[in-house]
A and B are shown apart, each in its own frame.
Chain A
Amino acid sequence: MATHAPTHAHTDHGHGHHAPPKPLWYWWKRAIVWTISGALAGIALVFFFRWAFGFSNLWEPESYYTAIASLAGIGFVIGIGCFDWWWAYLRGKHVDFEDHSLHGAKTWRDYLRPNTDHKVIGIQYMVAVFTFFVVGGLLAELVRLELAQPGFQIADGETYNGYFSAHATVMIFGFVIPSFAGLANYVLPVMIGAKDMAFPRLNALSFWLLLPAGAMLAIAPFVGAFSAGWTAYPPLAVQGTTGQTLFEVAVQFAGASSIATALNFLVTIMTMRAPGMTVWRMPLLVWANATTSGLVVFGTPFIAGSQFMTLFDRVVGTNFFNAANGGDVIMYQHVFWFYSHPAVYIMMLPGFGIISEVLSTFSRKPIFGYRALAFSTVAIALLGFGVWAHHMFVSGMASWLRIPMMITTIIIAVPTGVKIFSWLGTIWNGKIHLKTPMIWALGFIFTFVIGGLSGVFLGTLTTDIALTDTYFVVAHIHYVFFGGSVFTIFAGTYYWFPKMTGRMYSETLGKWHFWLTFIGFNGTFFPQHWLGAHGMPRRVADYDERFADLNLIISLFSLFMVAGTLVFFYNMIWSWRSGPKAPWNPWRGRSLEWLVSSPPSLFNFDAVPQVVGGPYQYGIPGARHAVVYAGDHLGGGELTETELRTVLVVANRTVASSSLLDQVKARAEEGYWRFTIVVPAKGDDHRAADRRLQVALAVLAEAGIDASGTVEDLGPLEAVKRILEEEPAHEVMLATLPTGQSEWMQQDMIDRVRKASGIAVTRVIVRGDDARTAVRSAAVQRIAVIANDTLGDAGLVSALQARADERPLAAVVLCPLSLDGPGWTDDADKVRDEATGRTRAVIQRLQDSGIQAHGEVIDGDPVAAAKIARSDYKVDTVLVCSYRRDSSEELLGQVRAAAGDTAVEHVVVDAEAPAAPSGA
C-alpha cells in the first residue's frame, strides 16, 4: 500500500528516474476512451447475461443504463489514471511506494489530471463542489420560481418533483459532504504535522470518483428526473425513470468516494501525527474529522445497501419492497435512515470543527471546554446511530419504537447544547475580531440554534405527527444544512483561503456576501416555519391560495442569496488571481498550518515539527503549540521556536513607511523571524489605520516575510501588553516620528514599553514625509489621479477609499492647469494658488483616511499630466476624474494615447451624487 513515512524530510523532490510529466490530453484522451469502452462493455455484458439466461426481453432499458453508468464511471477513473500505479503493482512490476511523479502542481494543468498531493486534491475538491453548488442553486431557484405562485408555473408535478429531488441530492452528495472532505484534505495533514495523507493515490481516486457521481446527477434531469426526493423511498423510487437509475448508481459512486476518503483520514490521523501531538492536543477540526470518518466508514454502507436493493427491485425485478410478494417497504426507510441520520452529522460535525477553530482564533481566547467539545463530538456520533426512526414516526413502523426513538432524539440535543455553550463561552469576554470567517461563524451559531430548536419540535412525537411532511421540516432542514453546514463551509473557505491560495480575499466583499446571504436566508426560510405549522405540505408543486403572499416573498428573498453567491464567486476568482499576497499567518493562529508558508511547500514541512502544547492557548503567557524547524533558506535546519521568534512591531501613522519596512526586512534576513504588527489607534480613525496596516502587510507578504497585524483600540502601552498576553515575543520594534514631533516620545514610551514588557525595545525613527510617501512595491498599486475642479469633491476621495479597501494603493494627485493667457498675471497666480490649495487639501484628506498620497500642480493639460504620471511616477493606473457635464471622449482618447500601456480609467463625479467609476 502507499505508505508515507512521516519522519522523512523532503526539501526537494527531483527524482531523476521519473519520466517527464505527461501532457494533459494524454490523461483526458485515455479517460474518454475508457469511459466509452466502459459504456460499451456495459451494453455487451448485459446483453450477454440476458441472452445466456434466456430472458425473453433482451432489451430491457434500465438494466442497460445501470451497467452503462456503472462501467462508464469505473472506466473514467481507470482512464484518467487513478489505477496506473496499482496496475503496475499487480503485474508484479517493481514499483516505488513513494512514487511522487504525480505529486504537486506547477501550473493550472496539474489540477486537471490525477494528482497525489493532498493540497492539490483539496483545491480540486473545492472547485468541483462549488460547481455543484451552482448547479444545485439553479435548481433551487427553479423550485422557488414554481412556488412563487399557487398553480403550475414552469413545471408539472412530476417535473417539479425532479427539480427538488435533484436540488437536494446535488447539494448533499455533490456539495456539502465533499466540501468538508476538500477543506480537510487541504488543512488536516498540515494541522497534524504530516507531509501528506496516508494513502495519496487512494486520495486521488476518491476525488475522481466524485466526478462521475456528479455528472450522473447532473445528467439525470434530462433523462427523466428522479422524483422520489433525496430520500428515494420505494415504491415511488422503484417505479421511477432512468433518472432514478442514475441516482442509484451515482449514490454508489459518491458513497465509495466518501468511504475511501474517510479511511484515509482515519489512518492519517491515527498514524501520522507529528511527535508530541497527543489526542488531547489535536485541533478540534481533527477530532471532528476523525469522528465523521468513523460515521462514514460504518454508516455509508447502509445507504449503499438500500440503493442496491432499490436498484435490484427496479432493474432485476426482485421483491424487496413489494408487499404483494412478501417484501417490506418500511424496511427501506429503516436501512436508509440508519445511514442518513448519521449522515446529517457527517454533514455537520466537520463544520463544528471549523467553527471551533475560527471562534477561538478570532476571539483570541483558548477554546472554552476543549474536552467537552471533543467528547460531545464523539457522543453525537454514537447517539446518532440510535435515533434514525424519528424520521419515521408516522410511517407505520412498529409503534413501540416511537417512544425510545423520541427519547434518544431529545438526548442528542444535550451534546449539541454543550457545543453551543462552549462556543459562547469561547467568545465570552474575548477580544473579537470581526473578520469575514468570524462573521460567518457567529451567523452560524444564530441560525443553527434556530435549527436545533425546530429539531426538538420534530423530535417530539406529538408535535411531529402534525408537522411531519410540511414546510416546517423544510425550514428545519435548511436551518441546519444551510444556516448550519453551508455557513461553516463559507467560514472555512474564507478562513483558509489565504493558506490555500497564498492570496487575501476582499473583506468588504466577504461581508457583503455574508449579509446578503444572511438576510436572504432568514427571509427565505424563517417564514416556512409558519407555512408548515399552518399545514402547507412539502414536495408539492401547487398549494393553497392563502399561502400565496408569503411564498412570493420567500421567492423574492431567495434572490438575495443568488446575489450573495455572485459576490462570493467574484471575490474568490478575483482574489485568487490578483488579490494581495497572503502572509503565512494572517489571523495569528496557533495551529500548525499557520506556522508554514502560504501555500505550504511541496511536502508542507522542511522537517517534522514537534508539538509541545494545545492548539488554542491564546493569551496564555509562554504557551506554545508547536515548534517547527527552519529550512536551509532561512538560516539552517536548527530548531527555531516560532512564537518566541516573533518581533512585535508597534506603529501607528508610521506603519507603512519605508524606514520601518526596510528595518523589518533587514531583520527578516537575519533568520527565522516572524512579525506581529499592532497599530494602537485609540482615538484615531480605525479604517484609516487599517488601510495603512494593509499596505505594510502587503509589502511584507510580497517580500516573502511572515507578518500579520491588527488594529487595536488601545494606547501603545496597553496594546503591547495585550498582544504579549496572547503571544510571547522576542523583542518590540517601536516606530515613532522624530523626537520633537512624536507624542509617544513625549510620553516616554520606549522606557515604559520596556518596563511593561520586560523585553528589548528597538526604536525605529521615521521622518514625517517618509510616513506619508508610498513604498515602492509590486504589492502596492500606484494610482495617478488626474483631476482639477473635481479635486475638492468628496466623491473622489470615497472612490479612492473603496479601491484601497480592495487592495493596497498609493496615490499621486496631479492637477493639470492649462492657463490660456500669460502665466504671471495676478489672475493666473490666484488660479494657481487655488489649484495648489485644492491639491493639498485632497492629499491631506487621503492621508487622513490612511492612503499614502502626494502630488503636484502641473502646467499643462491632462495629456501632459498623463505623460508625467507614466514617465516620472511610473504608476500602474491613471484615473481621470471629471464632472459628468465636462467629460469628453476626445480628451480621454488623448490621455489613453499619452499613457501608453498604463491602464486609464475614467471616474465621473456628479456634482450632486457621490462618485461612481464608469467603464464606458
Chain B
Amino acid sequence: MAAEHTATVSSHGDVAAPGRGAGISQGMLAMILFIGSEAMLFASFFTAYFMVRYNIAENDWPPIKDLATGERFEPPVLGTGVNTAFLVFSSFTVWYAEHRLKHGDRKGLERGLIVTMLLGATFLAVQINEYVHLGFTPQDQAYGAAFYTLTGFHGLHVFVGLTLLWICYLRIKRAHDFTPQWATPLGAASLYWHFVDVVWVFLYVVVYLI
C-alpha cells in the first residue's frame, strides 16, 4: 500500500498533482479563487470609501480636518510614492526568483525570495512609520476610518504575503522543496504577492493621488 501510495503522490514535491478537466493545478486554482474573494473584500472597503467621498463629502476631498484652521487631511504622497516603488519592484524580484527556479538555479531562487521579503518588510516598516507621523487617527472623521481601514487591511495582506513567502523559503531550505516541474505553493505565494501589489497600486492612486 505504502509503495503504491507514494507512486502517485507528491510527498517530495516532484510530481504534479493530477487534476482533471483543468490545465491548472488544484492549488493554483484555489489561490486564484481565494484572490478573487480577497479582491471582493477590498471592493467592499472601496465601496465604503467611494460612498463617503462622493455621496457624503460630494468630492470635497480630502475633507477639512479642523474647522477652526480649515486644514485638510493630507496623505503623504511623496514618501508613500517611494514606498510604492519598493512594492512594485518586489513583484519583479519574486518573478525573478520563480524564473531562476525554472532554470534550475536554486541559489537564484533563494536570493530572489530574500530580496522580495526584504522589500516587503521595508514597505511595512515605512507604512508603520507613516502612521506614526500622519497627524490624524482612525477616529478622525470617516476619512480617517476609510484611510486606515484600507491601508491597514492592505498592510495585513502584505504581512500574510510575507508569511507565505517565508514558508516557501523555509520549505526550500529545510525540505529542499520545489523543482522546475512542480512548485505549486511557490507559484501560489507569488501570485498572492502580485495581487497584494496590484491592490496597492490601485489604492495609492485612489486614496493618495486623486
Contact = CB atoms under 8 A, between A and B. Distances in A.
Contacts of A263: 30, 33-34, 37
B37 A259 contact: yes
Contacts of A271: 19-22, 26, 29
Interface in A296-333: 297-302, 304-306, 308-309, 312-313, 316-320, 322-323, 325-328, 330-331
Contacts of A748: none
A270 B21 contact: yes
B9 interface: yes
A3 B33 contact: no
Interface string A8-25: 100011111100000000
B180 interface: no
A304 B41 contact: yes
A770 B30 CA distance: 61
Given A198-B26, A301-B43, A302-B44, A92 B170 contact: yes
Contact of B139 (A297, A316, A334, A398): A316
Contact of A328 (B26, B43, B55, B138): B55
Given A90-B170, A266-B33, A312 B145 contact: yes
Given A5-B9, A91-B170, A92-B170, A331 B52 contact: yes
B201 interface: no
B192 to A, nearest CB: 13
Interface stretch (A95-103, A758-766, A867-875): A95-103
A318 B138 contact: yes
Nearest to A293: B33
A199 interface: yes
B167 interface: yes
A833 to B, nearest CB: 70
B45 A305 contact: yes
A790 B8 CA distance: 69
B186 to A, nearest CB: 12
Contacts of B185: 1
A6 interface: yes
A119 B20 CA distance: 22
Query: B interface, by DSSP: helix, strand, loop or mixed?
Result: helix
Nearest to B175: A92
B106 to A, nearest CB: 15
Nearest to B46: A305
A335 interface: yes
A320 B38 CA distance: 21
A198 B57 CA distance: 47
Nearest to A277: B21
Contact of B145 (A198, A320, A338): A320
Interface in B26-63: 26-27, 29-30, 33-34, 36-38, 40-41, 43-45, 47-48, 51-52, 55-57, 63
Interface residues of A, number: 66
Interface in B120-177: 138-146, 148-149, 167, 170-171, 173-175
A299 B139 contact: no
A275 B20 contact: yes
B43 A15 contact: no
A271 B25 CA distance: 8
| Most chain B CB atoms below 10 A, which of A14, A93, A305, A334 | A305
A236 interface: no
| Most chain A CB atoms below 10 A, which of B37, B148, B167, B174 | B37
B206 to A, nearest CB: 16
A318 B140 CA distance: 7
Interface string B53-88: 001110000010000000000000000000000000
Interface string A240-274: 00000000000000000001000110110011111
A328 B21 contact: no
B20 A96 contact: no
Contacts of B47: 305, 331, 334-335, 338
B184 interface: yes
Given A15-B1, A304-B44, A297 B33 contact: yes
A111 B139 CA distance: 46
B18 A7 contact: yes
Nearest to B172: A92
A263 B37 CA distance: 9
B11 A331 contact: no
A670 B123 CA distance: 71
How many of chain B's residues touch chain A, expressed as a range?
35 or more
A97 B16 CA distance: 12
Contacts of B2: 15-17
A597 to B, nearest CB: 21
Contacts of A275: 20
Contact of A14 (B1, B21, B27, B36): B1
A94 interface: yes
B199 interface: no
A301 B175 contact: no
A297 B40 CA distance: 9
A273 B20 contact: yes
Contact of A94 (B12, B21, B143, B170): B12
A888 B11 CA distance: 72
Interface string B183-196: 01100100000000
Nearest to B17: A3
A199 B144 CA distance: 40
A334 B33 contact: no
B139 A305 contact: no
A559 B87 CA distance: 62
B138 A267 contact: no
Interface in A84-129: 89-98
Given A305-B41, A328-B142, A270 B10 contact: no
Interface string A70-94: 0000000000000000000111111
A272 B51 contact: no
Contacts of B20: 6, 271-275
| Most chain B CB atoms below 10 A, which of A15, A17, A91, A331 | A331
A164 B170 CA distance: 50
Contact of B142 (A8, A95, A98, A327): A327
Contact of A267 (B29, B63, B146, B148): B29
A298 B55 CA distance: 25
B51 to A, nearest CB: 4
A305 B44 contact: yes
A8 B144 contact: no
Nearest to A268: B26
A319 B139 CA distance: 6
A6 B20 CA distance: 8
| Most chain B CB atoms below 10 A, which of A270, A271, A334 | A271
Interface string A870-914: 000000000000000000000000000000000000000000000
A39 to B, nearest CB: 22
A304 B185 CA distance: 26
6 contacts: A1-B184, A12-B1, A94-B175, A270-B22, A297-B40, A326-B63
Of all A-B residue pairs in the complex, the 10 with the closest CB atoms, nearest first, are A92-B174, A305-B44, A3-B17, A318-B145, A271-B19, A1-B27, A301-B41, A301-B40, A326-B142, A331-B51
Interface of A: 1, 3-8, 12-17, 89-98, 198-199, 259, 263-264, 266-267, 270-275, 297-302, 304-306, 308-309, 312-313, 316-320, 322-323, 325-328, 330-331, 334-335, 338, 398
Interface of B: 1-2, 5, 8-12, 17-22, 25-27, 29-30, 33-34, 36-38, 40-41, 43-45, 47-48, 51-52, 55-57, 63, 138-146, 148-149, 167, 170-171, 173-175, 184-185, 188
Given A93-B174, A94-B175, A98-B5, 15 more contacts: A16-B1, A90-B167, A90-B171, A97-B9, A267-B33, A271-B26, A272-B20, A298-B37, A301-B38, A304-B41, A318-B149, A326-B142, A328-B142, A330-B55, A335-B47
